[in-house]
Every structure is written in C-alpha cells, then in structure tokens.
Structure 1
Amino acid sequence: MFGTTLLDRRSKPERIADQAWEQLLSAVSSAGDSVRDVARSARRNGSGLADDATDLVGTAADEARRRASLAVDALAGRRPALPWSMLIAAALAGAALGWAAGTAARAAGSRLRELDEIEFVDVDRPDSPVGLDD
C-alpha cells in the first residue's frame, strides 16, 4: 500500500520516464531473443555450408590424388588398365540391341509373308457399267 501511494505522488515526467524505461527494457529483451534466434539459424546454415565445402574439397582432393597417380604411372611407363566394367557394359548393351533388332526384323518378315499369301478372288458383277466383266 505504501508503494502505490508513493508511485502516485511522482510527477508526470517521472511516470513517463519509467514507462519509457520499461518499454526500452522490453524492446532490448525481445531484440536479444531475436538476435539469439538469428545466431542459432546462422550457426545451423553455416555448418551446412561448411559440410558442403568439405565435401567439395574432399572430392577435389580425391580427383587430384587420382590424377597424380595416373601421372606417376605414365612417367614410370606403365599403361593404364583397361576399363573392364565399361567394356562389359557396352557388350551387354550391344547384345540387347542386337536381340531387339533381330526380333523386330523377324516380326516384320512374318508380316510380309502374310501379305504375300493373300488370295484374290475374281467376282462376276452382273451390271457392271464399265464392261469389265465381258
């Protein structure tokens, strides 16, 4: 009760200053929360970018190692190994295309034989205007 009467007796500029101080504290507090949220999201995004950069650098390092190994082999006079997996894949693809082409050719050939076996029948037309039936 004593506090309420004390606050009531302050002057208007003091009350306005207190309200402004409370609003300032509230704004600073909410700004701190939003800054904390932004920092948290930046940390998450930054770690994602760092992971992507690490993957990219790792890939580049692997490629550099592979090329260096090929260069050392070339300088030593060793020939590169045959890419057996590529050769086998090409052979299988060629066999599949050959089988498909052969099947299509057989189907087209059987259709042509069916067309050759069509029998044409001559029909007499009694009232032909052209006179082809004579």
Structure 2
Amino acid sequence: MDLSLAGDKRFLKLNELEEIRDDAYESSRLYKEKTRKWHDQHIRNKSFKVGDKVFLFNLRLCLFSGKLKSKWSGPFVISKTTPYGSFKLDADGNKFMVNGHRLKHYFCKEEVGLIECIMLDPLNPKPPP
C-alpha cells in the first residue's frame, strides 16, 4: 500500500471526525437554547411584600423516606426584603434569611365561618323550624 495514499485517507477521516464534532456542538447549542427559552417562558414571577405569609420549602425532609410528609413548613411572616431576592422570615421571634426561590404564598381566610348543626330525629320526620 502506498504511504501517501494511506496518509490522505487518514487526513480525510480526521476532517470527517472534526465535522461530526462540530455538528454535535451545534446540535448541543441549539438544544440548550431551546430548553433555556422554554424554561424562561415557564418561570412564574413571585412578588413578596413585608407582612406576607409564606411557606418555606424544607430541603432536609427530602432526605428521610416519608412520602406523605409535607415538604413545606410554615406559615412564616416576611419581616424584611432585599433587592437580591432574599427575604428575612420571622418565626415566633426567630429571624432567618432565605432565598426567594424556596418560598410560596400562603393564602388563608382569616375569618372562620359559622358551622350550622341540624339534629335529625328519626321519630319526627319534620325538621325543626
């Protein structure tokens, strides 16, 4: 076999390998671009104010096997906000800073409604007036 022919063949294979590598990089770049765009479209902007009640995502509970345990603890009251997305929470006099990504709003009704109880008498089919 001629050495120059073998060298040319090897050179063509190396060029082909570089083209395949460039195509893989381009494909990877396009995939990352699409996933970044999809992720950015599905981000919900949360805005918290001082005095809001929030739940805190508890990362430590994920370590224990308990699928019925709640991963959210709280409610806590926001006592201070920072411009960088962290918040100071107040829990029974203890204050600590957390990242805003670990919080979600706590919605509750402050008013408790009245519960109406109707006694049913099996002997008397008429309801009381």
| TM-score interval, smaller chain | 0.3 to 0.5
> Between Structure 1 and Structure 2, which shows a larger proportion of helix residues?
1
Larger Rg: 1
Task: Report the TM-score, using the length of structure 1 for normalisation.
Answer: 0.38
> Between Structure 1 and Structure 2, which shows a larger proportion of strand residues?
2
Task: Report the TM-score, using the length of structure 2 for normalisation.
Answer: 0.39
Which protein has greater RCO, CA pairs closer than 8 Å, 6+ apart?
2
